[in-house]
Amino acid sequence: MASIPNLSSFLPTLSHSNPNNQCTLPPTSLFGTRITLLRATSSSRSLPNTSCSATSATVSFSLPTPKPLSDTPDKTPKWSERAIKSYAMGELEARKLKYPNTGTEAILMGILVEGTSNAAKFLRANGITLLKAREETVELLGKSDLFFFSPEHPPLTEPAQKALDWAIEEKLKSAGEGGEINVTHLLLGIWSQEESAGQQILATLGFDDGKAKELSKKIDGDV
C-alpha cells in the first residue's frame, strides 16, 4: 500500500516580511498553484466589537421610547441594559422558531435566556424555565414552515407592543421621573395582556395574579 505523503513536507516556512502583509506559497505538486495568505491587521480585529455595538444600537431603537417629560426631559426613564438584552434574546428566539413576529411568548423566552434579572430568577424559583416556556410555545402556536425564514428583526405583535407600552406607563406611574424600565416591568407587561400567548404560557406554568402581585412589590429593585 502506498504511503500517504506528509503535508508538512510540502509546506515551506512562511515569511511575513512582505510589506503588503501577504505571504505566498510556491507552486507544488500538492497545491498546483500559488496560494496567497493575507495576514490579519489591527483594523480587522476590531470588526467584531463594531458589529456588536451596531446590533445593540439597533435593538435599543426597536424598543419604544417614553415620551420626554416637558419640564425635565433628561430625567425621562430609559430601558435598562437587562431589558434591552431580554428583548434582543426574544427576537432571537422568535427567529429560532421561524416565527414571522416577535410576540409576548418570544419576549418571555428572552427574559429567561438573559437570565440575570430579578424577574428571570423569580420565574425559575417558581419552576418556570426556558425549556418549559419553549415547549409550551410550540404546543400553543405550532411549528413554522421548514423553509420559512424570519426577518432579522421580526416585528412586534399587537399584544407584545401593548406589553411594552404597559411597562413604560407603569414605570411613569410608579416613579414619575428618572430610573429605568426594567425586566420586571416587561414581565408584568406580558402578564397584563390577557389572552396573549405569553400570558397563557405563564398561566399554564403556574404564574398567577398572586405571583404577579408578589413580584410587583420588588419592581424597582432590579438595578
Q: What would the mean pLDDT of 92-107 be, rounded to a whole number? A: 95
Strands (E), 62-127: 78-79
Q: What would the mean pLDDT of 69-86 be, rounded to a whole number? A: 75
Q: What would the mean pLDDT of 108-122 be, rounded to a whole number? A: 97
Rounded distance between C-alpha atoms, residue 177 and residue 38, angstroms: 54
- Residue 207: φ, ψ to 5°: -80, 140
The C-alpha cell at 163 is 406589553
pLDDT reported for residue 45: 43
pLDDT digits (tens, 9 = 90+) for 24-73: 444 444 344 443 444 444 444 443 443 444 444 445 556 766 655 445 45
At 11, the pLDDT band (50, 70, 90 cuts) reads very low
Percent of the chain with pLDDT over 70: 64
Residue 1 predicted with pLDDT over 80: no
176 conformational bin, left if phi > 0, alpha if psi -120 to 50, beta if neither? left
pLDDT reported for residue 71: 53
At 196, the pLDDT band (50, 70, 90 cuts) reads very high
Beta-carbon count within 10 A of 119 CB: 27
Burial classification of residue 9, based on how many CB atoms lie within 10 Å of its CB (0-12 exposed, 13-18 middle, 19 or more buried): exposed
- The whole-model pTM stands at 0.69
Residue 160 predicted with pLDDT over 90: yes
Q: Which of 13-27, 51-65, 203-217 reaches the highest mean pLDDT?
A: 203-217
Rounded distance between C-alpha atoms, residue 11 and residue 94, angstroms: 47
pLDDT reported for residue 57: 44
Residue 181 predicted with pLDDT over 90: yes
Q: What would the mean pLDDT of 132-145 be, rounded to a whole number? A: 93
Least confident of 9-23, 141-155, 203-217: 9-23
Least confident of 123-127, 148-152, 173-177: 173-177
The two most distant CA atoms of the chain are separated, in Å, by: 87
At 177, the pLDDT band (50, 70, 90 cuts) reads low
Q: How far are the Cα atoms of 150, 156, 194 from residue 146, in angstroms, in the given order?
A: 11, 22, 30
